[in-house]
Amino acid sequence: MAPTTRSTSRARGTRLAETPTKFDPTQNSAQRQAPQLPMLEPVVAPPPNMVMLSTEAYQKLIQAAAANQEGRGDDDSTSMTREFKYLRDFRKYDPPVFEGKTIDPVLVESWVESIETIFEHMNCPEDQKVKCASFMLKGEAHFWWKTAQQTLRKEDEDEEPICWHEMKRAFIHKYYPAVNWYNNREAFVHLKQGNMTVEEYELEFTRLSRFALEYIDTEEKRTYKFILGLRSEIQGKVAAIAATSYERALHAASMLDFHLRKASNELEDEGSYQKKRKFDKHSNKSSLQRDRIGTPHRGRPTCPTCGLRHSGQCRVGTDVCYHCGKSGHRKTDCPHRRQRGLNVWTEQLGRLDTE
pLDDT in tens, 290-304: 444 444 445 667 777
Question: Which residues make Cβ contacts (< 8 Å) with residue 87, sequence separation at least 6?
Answer: 128, 131, 132, 135
Task: Give me the count of residues in the chain.
Answer: 355
Structure letter (DSSP) for residue 333: G
pLDDT (0 to 100) of residue 189: 94
Report the candidate in 336, 331, 311 with the shortest Cα–Cα distance to residue 320. 331
CA distances from 19 to 1, 7, 29 (A): 11, 10, 19
CB 185 within 8 A of CB 158: no
Answer for the pair 248, 238: CB distance below 8 angstroms, yes or no. no
Give the pLDDT of residue 246.
Answer: 94
Distance CA 225, CA 190 (A): 10
pLDDT, residue 122, reads: 93
pLDDT of residue 16: 45
Q: Give the angle 217-179-147 at the CA atoms, nearest 5°.
A: 115
Domain edges within the chain:
77-176, 192-277+320-355
DSSP state letter for 310: -
CA angle, corner 175, sides to 173 and 176, nearest 5? 65
The pLDDT of residue 295: 46
Whole-prediction pTM value? 0.46
Model pLDDT, residue 123: 92
Q: What is the pLDDT of residue 151?
A: 86
| CB neighbour class for 271 (10 Å; exposed up to 12, middle 13-18, buried from 19) | middle
Q: How far apart, in whole angstroms, are the C-alpha atoms of residue 122 and residue 114?
A: 13
For helices 105-122 and 126-135, give the axis angle rounded to 10 degrees: 130
Which ranges constitute the DSSP H helices of the chain?
2-12, 55-70, 76-91, 105-122, 126-135, 140-155, 164-175, 178-189, 198-209, 219-228, 232-241, 246-283, 285-292, 335-354
**pLDDT score at 76:** 47
Task: Per residue of the chain (355 residues), give pLDDT as tens.
Answer: 444 444 444 444 444 444 455 555 555 555 555 555 556 555 555 555 545 555 565 566 566 655 555 544 444 444 567 888 999 999 999 999 999 888 888 889 899 999 999 999 999 999 999 999 999 999 999 999 999 998 888 776 667 889 999 999 999 889 988 888 888 899 999 999 999 999 999 999 998 998 888 999 999 999 999 999 999 999 999 999 888 899 999 999 999 999 888 887 776 655 555 555 555 555 555 554 544 444 444 566 777 777 677 677 777 667 777 667 777 777 666 766 555 555 555 555 555 444 4
Alpha-carbon distances of 58 from 52, 53, 61, rounded to whole Å? 10, 6, 5
Query: Among candidates 95, 213, 111, 94, which has minimal Cα distance to 172?
Result: 111
